[in-house]
Structure 1
Amino acid sequence: MKAAYTKPFLIAAFIILLDQIIKLWVRKHMYLGQEIHFLGSHGMLRYTENNGMAFGMELGGAFGKLALTLFRIAAVCGIGYGLIYLIKHKYHRGLIMMVALIMAGAVGNIIDSTFYGIIYHYAPLFHGRVVDMFYFPLLSGHFPSWIPIWGGEEFIFFRPIFNLADSAISVGVIMILINQKRYFKQEVPEVSNPNSEMLEE
């Protein structure tokens, strides 16, 4: 039983540690907006910071930032409780690992938003900025002029800049959605046949 509890949390701890190592390296060796290309123009590190949610999305204002950080902390507590519940009740190992990934990603970004402002002396507790760096603009071009609203405008796929924590959350959620029938499969109890009971009598 101890191993069942230990493995998911060890994996989560490893992801959190690796996420923070990458973020600290980026902060130390890059300046905001700097790019380091490793797949030409289609894959790079681009140092950015954001005040909000995954993939650079934001919830406006100082109050929105505080509310988001506190919500993340509450969500991680709930996810941690849920993870223990899943392990205790012997749910599918794949589901347990995916929930561990989601928890690790949430914790990774909580560390930034909770402590980075104080550590780097630019904001009070709970108002730090999340460090993002992975950018994969795989396709770019312009929408055809006949398309309503966006006609003629530039498009980039994949536009969001993200970090390892964001990736862990996304992988966990996507895999649960794809495998939900397998992860949440329930055994159907056998229905007794009335005729067989009559025969026994």
Structure 2
Amino acid sequence: MRVLYLTVFVVIFDQLTKVLVKGINIPFLNLDLSGMRYGQSFNIIGEFVKFTFVENPGMAFGIDVGETSKLFLSLFSIIASIGILIYLFKLKDEKLILRLALALILGGAIGNMIDRTFYGIFYGYAPIFYGRVVDFINVDFFDFSIFGRTYERWPIFNIADSAVTVGVILLLIFQKPHSEEKVKDSDEEIKTESGDDINEINSEQMVSVDGENNNRKDNRPVDYSGTEEGKN
């Protein structure tokens, strides 16, 4: 399925940006990228968009689920990614926009799942499944409250979060028309089947009526009054 190229692109782009932000050191490849200091920030578009390096131990957009839930969250990310992939294959004949939306969500889920599952081991600060997600996109926004916290800026996020958000928005926009179209097609199919049944019944009734008429013609008494037999 070609839409999986979009998933692969999201995963690669997401991981590349995270490595550039966090840094990486692979001695046998002679690769040493220092990255940003934790908490370091610099402007991209004035104060409106910044790159700010933070790590999120919880869910998307900085939502903390607590230390005890990290293992569950990591395992859930793996299961969800597998489930979305299977579902995507089942929808291979559906509209492209629906498959693109799911491909974006899958790419974002895999991107953050890699952080949670492997970053702790790779960077040497936690066991498997206990890694922290790298976030860095910092956007100014109007003040709002969610989960009991008030934010003056939008919670810092990453490319994977963005892909999931765009995918969900596409589903919300296009899923309703898609569902209505499927209902319409089902109604038309039912009407067609009903029409075929009615036509079949009418044909059977016509055949029955023709048969009865023929029987009546065959059973009518013969009038011999004008013949020699009638006179005798």
Shorter chain as denominator, the TM-score bin is 0.7 to 0.9
In structure 2, which of residues 54, 74, 77 is the aligned counterpart of residue 48 of structure 1? 54
Structure 1 stretches of 4+ with a deviation exceeding 4 A read: 193-200
In structure 2, which of residues 153, 156, 166 is the aligned counterpart of residue 161 of structure 1? 156
Give, in whole Å, the separation in 1 of the partners of 2:71 and 2:106. Answer: 20
Q: Where do 5+ consecutive residues of structure 1 fail to align? A: 142-149
Partner of 2:45: 39
In structure 1, which of residues 68, 75, 81 is the aligned counterpart of residue 80 of structure 2? 75
Matching residue's letter, 1:52? G
Work out whether residues 50 and 130 of structure 1, in 8 Å CA contact, stay in contact via their aligned partners in 2.
yes
For residues 86-113 of structure 1, give each alpha carbon's deviation from its aligned partner in whole angstroms, at most 9, with x where no partner exists. Answer: 11xx111111110011110000001101
Give the TM-score taking structure 2 as reference length.
0.73
Residues 121/85 of structure 1: CA separation in 2 closer, same or farther (3 Å cut): same
Partner of 1:100: 103
Matching residue's letter, 2:128? L
Residues 180/140 of structure 1: CA separation in 2 closer, same or farther (3 Å cut): closer
Give, in whole Å, the separation in 2 of the partners of 1:44 and 1:51. Answer: 21
Matching residue's letter, 1:8? V
Partner of 1:145: none
For residues 148-189 of structure 1, give each alpha carbon's deviation from its aligned partner in whole angstroms, at most 9, with x where no partner exists. Answer: xx9xxx752x42110000011111111101111233331121
Partner of 1:19: 14
1:30 to 2:30 alignment: no
Q: Which moved more, 1:177-186 or 1:45-54?
A: 177-186
Give, in whole Å, the separation in 1 of the partners of 2:198 and 2:16. Answer: 67
Give, in whole Å, the separation in 2 of the partners of 1:35 and 1:78. Answer: 36
Matching residue's letter, 1:78? G
Give the TM-score taking structure 1 as reference length.
0.83
Root-mean-square deviation over aligned CA pairs: 2.3
Aligned residues: 183
Work out whether residues 54 and 166 of structure 1, in 8 Å CA contact, stay in contact via their aligned partners in 2.
yes
Partner of 1:59: 65
Structure possessing the higher relative contact order (Cα contacts under 8 Å, 6 or more residues apart): 1
1:43 Cα deviation after fit = 0.7
Matching residue's letter, 2:124? H
Give, in whole Å, the separation in 2 of the partners of 1:190 and 1:44. Answer: 56
Choose 1 or 2 for highest CA Rg: 2
Work out whether residues 94 and 183 of structure 1, in 8 Å CA contact, stay in contact via their aligned partners in 2.
no
For residues 14-54 of structure 1, give each alpha carbon's deviation from its aligned partner in whole angstroms, at most 9, with x where no partner exists. Answer: 11000000000001221111112111111111111011111
Give, in whole Å, the separation in 2 of the partners of 1:53 and 1:197. Answer: 60
Partner of 2:166: 171
SS in 2 for 1:36: strand
- Matched residues, percent identical? 39
Give, in whole Å, the separation in 2 of the partners of 1:136 and 1:72. Answer: 25
